[in-house]
Amino acid sequence: MKVLIACEFSGSVREEFKKLGHDAWSCDIVDTEVPGNHFTCDIKEVLFQEWDLIIAHPPCTRLTVTGNKWYKPEYRERFPTILEDREKAVEFFMLFANHPCKKICIENPVGIMSTRWKKPTQIIHPWQFGHEASKTTCLWLKGLENLSHTNVVGKGEFVTYKSGKRMTKWYADAASLSPKERERVRNKTFKGIAEAMAQQWGGI
C-alpha cells in the first residue's frame, strides 16, 4: 500500500507501516525526527497524489475543547485572531474529511469537530494498547474498521490540582519541558496505537 501519514514529524506511525513492507510516507512542515520517507512541506503539495490510505493528525490547538475559555469576549484583546484561527483549523481538518481517498483516518482529541462535522467513529486510549496512560483520542474513519484493542492495561497515574482539575501524569509532567519538547511529547502517537494501525489496517 502507498500510505501517507499527514502532519507527523515523529515518524511513529510511518515506521510501523514501513516495517510491514508498505510504501509509507510522513509529511509535516518540519523535518522528521527519525530518518525515513518524509515530505518537509505544506501537506497540500502531496495530499492529492494517489494514496491507498491516509492517516491524518491535523493540529488540534484551535480545535480541542480544552482551550474553549480563550474564546470568551474578555480574552479577545489578548487573542485578537483566535476566531479566524479556529475557522482556518476547521477548514484544514476538512481537507482530509472531504478527500476522495477510499481509506482515511483522522485523529484528534475531543474537540469542536464532533459538532462542526460529526461525532468520531471511535474513541481510544493508550491504555487499550499496552501503555499505562490515559489520552482520549478520537478517530474519524472512512473505509476502515475500528481498531481492536491489543493489550488492555492500567490507566496510569493522575495528578489532581488544588482547583480540583485532574490530569493524567504523563501529560502533566510534560509541562516542565520546553515548549518544543512539550509539543513533541504530547503529540507523538503511542507506539502501541501506531502498531495497531499498521497491523490492522495495513492488510485491508
- Judged by average pLDDT, the poorest of 31-40, 47-56, 78-87, 158-167 is 158-167
Q: Annotate 44-102 with DSSP letters as a single string.
A: GGTTTS--SEEEE----TTTBGGGGGGGSGGGTTTSTTHHHHHHHHHHHHHHHHT---S
Task: Say whether pLDDT at 153 is over 70.
Answer: yes
C-alpha cell at 49: 497524489
Interval 128-144: pLDDT, tens: 999 999 999 999 999 99
Question: How many whole angstroms separate alpha carbon 60 and alpha carbon 35?
Answer: 25
Average pLDDT of span 150-171:
84
C-alpha cell at 54: 491516509
Residue 204: predicted pLDDT: 56
- DSSP secondary structure code for residue 190 in this structure: P
Q: Report the chain's C-alpha Rg in angstroms.
A: 17
Residue 65: predicted pLDDT: 82
Q: Where exactly are the structural domains of the chain?
A: 2-201
- DSSP secondary structure code for residue 148 in this structure: P
Enter the pTM of the model: 0.91
Residue 196: predicted pLDDT: 98
Q: How many Cβ atoms are within 10 Å of 141's Cβ, its own excluded?
A: 17
Residues 6+ apart with CB under 8 A from 132: 153, 154, 155, 156
Residue 105: predicted pLDDT: 98
Question: How many whole angstroms separate alpha carbon 29 and alpha carbon 16?
Answer: 21
- Please, which residues bridge with residue 56 across strands? 6, 106
C-alpha cell at 24: 509509507
Task: Say whether pLDDT at 91 is over 80.
Answer: yes
pLDDT classification of 69: cutoffs 50, 70, 90: confident
Average pLDDT value for the chain: 92
Average pLDDT of span 50-62:
95
Residue 15: predicted pLDDT: 98
Task: Say whether pLDDT at 107 is over 90.
Answer: yes
Q: Annotate 121-136 with DSSP letters as a single string.
A: SEEE-GGGBT-S----
CATH class name, domain 2-201 = alpha beta
- Give the CA distances from residue 101 to residues 24, 70, 156, in Å, rounded to whole numbers and listed in that order: 15, 35, 36
